[in-house]
Every structure is written in C-alpha cells, then in structure tokens.
Amino acid sequence: MRKELFLEIGTEEIPAAFLPKAMADLDTLIRKELETARLSHGEVRTLATPRRLALLVREVEDRQPDAEVTALGPAKKVAFDADGRPTKAAEGFARGQGVDVAYLALATTEKGEYVAVTKRITGRPAAEILTEILPRVIGAIPFRKSMRWGNLDVRFARPMHWMVALYDGVVVPFSFGAVTSGSASRGHRFMADASFPVRDFDHYLDECERHFVIPDPEKRKEIIRREVEQAARAAGGRVLPDEGLLEQVTFLVEYPSVVCGSFSPDFLMVPKEALITSMREHQRYFSIVDEHGRLLPNFITVNNTLAEDPAVVRRGNERVLRARLSDARFFFEEDKKVSLEDRVEDLKGIVYQARLGTSHEKMERFRKLAEGLASRLRPEVAAKVSRAAFLAKADLVTGMVGEFPELQGVMGREYALIYGEEADVAVAIHEHYLPTQAGGDLPSSDIGAFVSIADKLDTICGCFGVGLIPTGAADPYALRRSALGIIAIILDRGYELSLADLVDSSLTLLRDKLTRDESQVRADVLEFFRGRYVNLMAGRYPSDVVEAVVAISFDNLNDTASRMAALAEFRQRPDFEPLAVAFKRVCNIVKEGTDIPVDAGLFQEEAERELARAFDVVASVARVKTGEKDYLAALREIAGLKGPVDAFFDGVMVMAEDQRVRSNRLALLTGIARLFSAIADFSRISA
C-alpha cells in the first residue's frame, strides 16, 4: 500500500532569503533518503512561510521490498593461504558479516576474484524507517547561517517550537533537540496563536487558512500580486514591476494584507530611482507609476496581519516613509553642492583593492583602455568616451550612493546632467555598469559600451594578476559576471576586435601591480573568457559545433559566432553526416600537416588528379567567401569535395612506399584540411 507522508517544522521567523533554497534542499534531501531506503513514492511538494517549513510526499510505499545484498571482502589470494585454508582476513570479514567462514563464496570482478557474502534482507516497515529518516533530513538542511539554542546540540535556521510528522495520519515518533513530533500545528502568531490538530495534508491546508496562515508560497504570491495591482489601479496608476521584491515579500508574511499610502509630491524632485530604492530597500514598499512610467506619490505595503483600522496602518507607514524620503532628499541636496568633476580627486582616498590601488588609479587605467577602444572603432566619440570614463566613478563619494550603493551610476548620471554634462556622456556614466545580471540591459551607445568593457576588463585582469581568481565556490569580485557582460556587449554591438589584444592592453596598464607572471595571467584570463563564451554559446548552438569552432579561434567573438551559426545551419543538411566523416578522415591522416607545394607531376592515380582539380576550383571560391565572412557559402563550396575525397580514399594508397609520392599526397590532403579548418575543426563534430 502507498500512503501520505506529511512533515511540518514550526520555528521562529526564518529570514525570507533562506526559504526558497530551504524548500529546494528539503525536496532533494527527502528524495535521496527515500531512494536510499528503497521506498518508492509519488509527488514531492514543499511549502514555506516565515514560521514553518512543510513537506508532502504522496504515495510512499508502506514497506521496503526484500533485497539481496552482496558484500565483497578481501581478494581470494589474501583470504586463503596456499593450501586453501581461510586466513585471518577471511575470518575477520566473515565475523563482520555475521556468518560462519564456511558461507564465504567467491565473486568475479574486473579486478579478479574476491570473497563475498550474499545476504537476503527483509524489508522493514516504512513507518519504522521514517523515524530515522526525518530527523536526519531536518538536520541536513544547509542554511546559509544556522544557530543553536539553549544547551541543545542541534542546529537550525531558527529555534524550533513544534513539529508535525504524519504517515497515513499516524504520528511518526522522533525528536529533534527538545522538540518531539506530534500532530498539532499552530496558527498565525498574532491573529490565531493557538494549536490545532492535523489529520493529513488537505486538512492541514484548510486548518491553516482558518487560522490565518497560507502555507503555499505560490498562492501567497498570487494574492499579493493581485491585491497590489488592484491597489495601484485604485490610486490611479499601475504597480512598478518588481519580481524580486514580490518574492521577498511573499516569504515575509503568512497572511498578506495590502495597504496603499501616499507621500508629499514635493519629494518627486528627487530622482525617481532614489525614491524607489528607498521605498524598496528600507521599507519593502511597491512603487506606483502612471501610464508614462512617471513615479506617483503613492506606495503599497504588504502587512502580515489584517488591519483593524487600515487608516491607522496607512498613517504609520506614511510617517516612517516621510523620514526615509527626507533623508534621501537631504543627501540629494547636499550632493548637488559639489560637481562630479570636483569629486574625482576624492577617489584617491578610496581603496579599490589593496593590491590594485585606489578607485582613482582604476579609473585612470580603464579610461585609457576605453580611449583605445574608441580610437580603434569610433574615433569620433573618443573625447566623450574619455569624459564619461573620467566621471564614471565620481558618484561613489556622494552621500546618496553611500546610503544606497545600488544607485551608483544612476546618481552619477543625474548629477552629470545637473552640472551640464552632455546627455550621452551622462547616460554612459550610468550604462557603464551594465549589464548587472545575466540577460540584463546592455549599454545603448558606443560610449557606454566602451567604458563598460574597459572597466570590467580592468577588474578581471587586475584580479587575475594578483591571484584573486574565482573558484567553484567563490567569486567575490563577480568576475564571471564581468566576463559575460563584456562578451554580451561585444556580440550585441558587433564589434570586430581582438580579445587577446584587449587583454594585452589591460595587462600593460596593470604591469606595476601584477604579482604573477604576466604571460601566465594572460593565458589564464583568455581561458577564463573561453569558458564563459563556450557556456554562453552552447545555449544557442549544439555543443560540438561550439567546440569545433572555438578550437580554431575565439579571439574575434563576433567572427566566431558567425562561424558557429554557419556550421550549425550547414549541419542541418541531410548529407552532413557522410560529409563530416569524410572530412574527419582527412584530418586524422594529415595530423599536423605537410607544408610542401603539391607537385602534379608526382600524381600516379586518376583519383588524386581529380581531387587536385576539384580542390583548385573549390578553394578559389571558398577562400573568397571565407574572406567575405560568408561562411555558409564557403561550407557549401567545400561540400563539393566529398565525392572526390571519397574516390581518393577508395582508389589511392596515401602512405605510398615512395617518400616523395607519400609526401605529395599528404600535402594535397593538408590543403583540403586547412580549407575547412579556417571555419571549424571537423574532427570535433559528432557525426
């Protein structure tokens, strides 16, 4: 029979940021434990509120199946002496398995014969096994930070107050710390602070809602979304979309209740990003905008209780927000008293990184890099690029950014406009931080793009240069994000440039800061970019296509992407597989290649003469198409060699006894291999 397993862990308030991962970890842990215990099951579902984590596993088999288990012991030559008598090793193994040495058998493995014991294990009842599994699962949830309470030797995100553990409605008995499992849950701390019995999962959901708790975070999220949108419409606008805030608020409440408030329109003279950030970060308020995206003097807050008098709640929130927005206005007014240009000198007092110098030194480095990019790709904007780079970090020393670090760049743009900087320079100050996340917005102009690439590249090369290299577990300087940002910008704007040259320029500017060998740093940085680029492009094209193209070169990212697109499309041809087989055969034979001119006078077979004639015709067209970066057309031309190549291998012995003939045939094949290796390494294609 299959039965329902339900677990609820009741606690003090767990931080909202902990809960989504805790739900996922709880799911993973219970699946692993049930699999190990040989207990099949159905749907697994996890729920969470600030005060509880819950788990449902449907259709858990009520008993383990019987099983045969074979335990391997020492090798035969160790277990028995020359006369075939069991040694102490064999006796010890038998004793450990609880059998007489006479029951030992031999099992043949890849490494030879070993003594073994095969035992039949009778399956245990699930209810019995769950008393062992559940406390193990609870203790294994890997919270970012855990705590002990009292003198207990257990850890959890927050102190526990109750546990519900039911299998087919019957309590699964176990303890975790000082808390013993039972069948009683608790309602909302303020609106229904009482215990209630639980029979099963559906009963639990019903009783929770009767006690002002909505355990399902998806249901809470949709309630909040709906009520926030309704409140915004009632205020004459629409809610500013903010999925991150919605997720956070969902895990801050057990029973959401929405209240809409307002603030003085006088605060709207402060840049809207500053007001939105203040409301979001300090108060977890949603902002409201009009149909044109202009901020309205209203906000929406989500409470964890139903308000007896919403007007009282609204006034309280308005009073708190007024103080917050007054602070923002104060910082803004004070910051405006000093221009960005005058603040640049203050960057000399900010240490960017102990071994890489100050923020001013960093600015000077990436300013030169950005100027170099502009002179190479868009000389007409070089002066604006230099100006934007010079001012890019100046807002770091403003009061507003000191209070809200996430506004760096945004406030730089606003203060630049106030002090009369050109609009595209001001926008570039903001956009040089873009993209801030995978798939995020990219700079809208070359000015912002050049400064963004330069700033990010200085960070990457500088960190690698002093040994601050990301690991699998840590990337404190967000170097992976920076590399992906550079790649995304270059691809988005179609820049034709050498990544290796860019890295060389950056390392030259960093030379007096490097603590590692420059050539090794260069190699490490390029390999770092290669890994990010391959991962990104593998989401767009087949992985073997990506590897085949990158194996030739990835220095020019846009050119490399064009070769990938052409090869991926070419691969759709119905005759691609035999084509790839033929070309791979060529590659496997020539290996490093033979660098001598092909001598037609050394041809002995008609098949090699025909291949040489076909190659001359195809190569003349394919090289032109490759030079024009029309790689698909080049591949179509090269495909015409398949017939002559097949005929050559069918009728010609490449490794002829005559050294001159052999070398001549290898030289012909080398020319063919290099023709398509200008696009990709066909030996890496899965055919």
pLDDT of residue 122: 85
Mean pLDDT of the chain: 92
pLDDT of residue 214: 97
- The length of the chain, given as a count of residues: 687
480 pLDDT band, cuts 50/70/90, is: very high
Q: What are phi and psi of 167, to 5 degrees?
A: -125, 110
> In terms of domains, do 195 and 240 share one?
no
pLDDT of residue 687: 60
Please state, in angstroms and rounded to a whole number, the distance separating the CA atoms of residues 109 and 113: 6
Rounded to an integer, the average pLDDT of 148-152 is 83
> In terms of domains, do 254 and 265 share one?
yes
Q: How many CB atoms lie within 10 A of CB 622?
A: 26
pLDDT digits (tens, 9 = 90+) for 619-661: 889 999 999 999 999 988 888 888 898 888 888 888 888 889 8
> In terms of domains, do 360 and 420 share one?
yes
Instruction: Report how far apart, in Å, the C-alpha atoms of 483 and of each of 48, 99, 119, 198, 210 are.
Output: 36, 61, 56, 52, 51
pTM: 0.81
Which pair of structure tokens corresponds to residue 101? 């040495």
Q: How many CB atoms lie within 10 A of CB 668?
A: 25
pLDDT of residue 439: 86
The rounded percent of the chain whose pLDDT value lies above 90 is 72
Q: Which of 164, 45, 63, 77 is nearest to 122 (CA)?
A: 63
pLDDT exceeds cutoff 70 at 98: yes
pLDDT of residue 74: 87
pLDDT of residue 595: 78
Question: Is the bond into 215 cis (omega within 30 degrees of 0)?
Answer: no
> In terms of domains, do 234 and 311 share one?
yes
Extended strands (E) in 32-172? 44-49, 52-61, 67-75, 105-109, 112-121, 160-167, 170-171
> In terms of domains, do 373 and 497 share one?
yes
Of 490, 513, 537, at which residue does a domain stop? 537
Query: Which single residue is written with the structure tokens 């010079």?
Result: 390
Here the CATH number for the domain that contains residue 379 is 1.10.3210
Please state, in angstroms and rounded to a whole number, the distance separating the CA atoms of residues 588 and 496: 33
Q: How many domains, in total, are found in the chain?
A: 5
3-state SS, residue 47: strand
pLDDT digits (tens, 9 = 90+) for 307-318: 888 899 999 999
Q: How many CB atoms lie within 10 A of CB 118?
A: 13
Tell me the sheet residues that pair with 55. 7, 46
Q: How many CB atoms lie within 10 A of CB 210?
A: 11
pLDDT exceeds cutoff 90 at 686: no
Of 537, 558, 584, at which residue does a domain stop? 537
The rounded percent of the chain whose pLDDT value lies above 70 is 100
Q: Which domain holds residue 462?
A: 344-537
> In terms of domains, do 651 and 668 share one?
yes
- Residue 545 lies inside a defined structural domain of this protein: no
Query: Which single residue is written with the structure tokens 């699964």?
Result: 172
Q: Residue 6 class from Cβ within 10 Å (0-12 exposed, 13-18 middle, 19+ buried)?
A: buried
594 pLDDT band, cuts 50/70/90, is: confident
Of 316, 335, 354, at which residue does a domain stop? 335
- Residue 217 lies inside a defined structural domain of this protein: no
pLDDT digits (tens, 9 = 90+) for 65-86: 988 877 888 888 888 888 888 8
pLDDT digits (tens, 9 = 90+) for 673-682: 888 888 888 8
93 pLDDT band, cuts 50/70/90, is: confident
Question: Buried b vs exposed e over 55-91: b needs ≥16 C-beta within 10 Å?
Answer: bbbeebbebbeeeeeeeebeebeebbeeeeebeeebe
Here the CATH number for the domain that contains residue 41 is 3.30.70.260
Residue 669 and residue 682 in contact, taking contact as beta carbons nearer than 8 Å = no
pLDDT digits (tens, 9 = 90+) for 157-192: 999 999 999 999 999 999 999 999 999 999 999 999
- Residue 281 lies inside a defined structural domain of this protein: yes
- Residue 546 lies inside a defined structural domain of this protein: no
- Residue 245 lies inside a defined structural domain of this protein: yes
- Residue 276 lies inside a defined structural domain of this protein: yes
- Residue 564 lies inside a defined structural domain of this protein: no
Here the CATH number for the domain that contains residue 613 is 1.10.730.10
Q: Which of 392, 402, 420 is nearest to 277 (CA)?
A: 402
3-state SS, residue 555: coil
> In terms of domains, do 7 and 147 share one?
yes
> In terms of domains, do 423 and 478 share one?
yes
> In terms of domains, do 95 and 243 share one?
no
> In terms of domains, do 71 and 187 share one?
no
Rounded to an integer, the average pLDDT of 117-128 is 88
pLDDT exceeds cutoff 80 at 49: yes
> In terms of domains, do 286 and 384 share one?
no
> In terms of domains, do 299 and 375 share one?
no
- Residue 625 lies inside a defined structural domain of this protein: yes
pLDDT of residue 668: 86
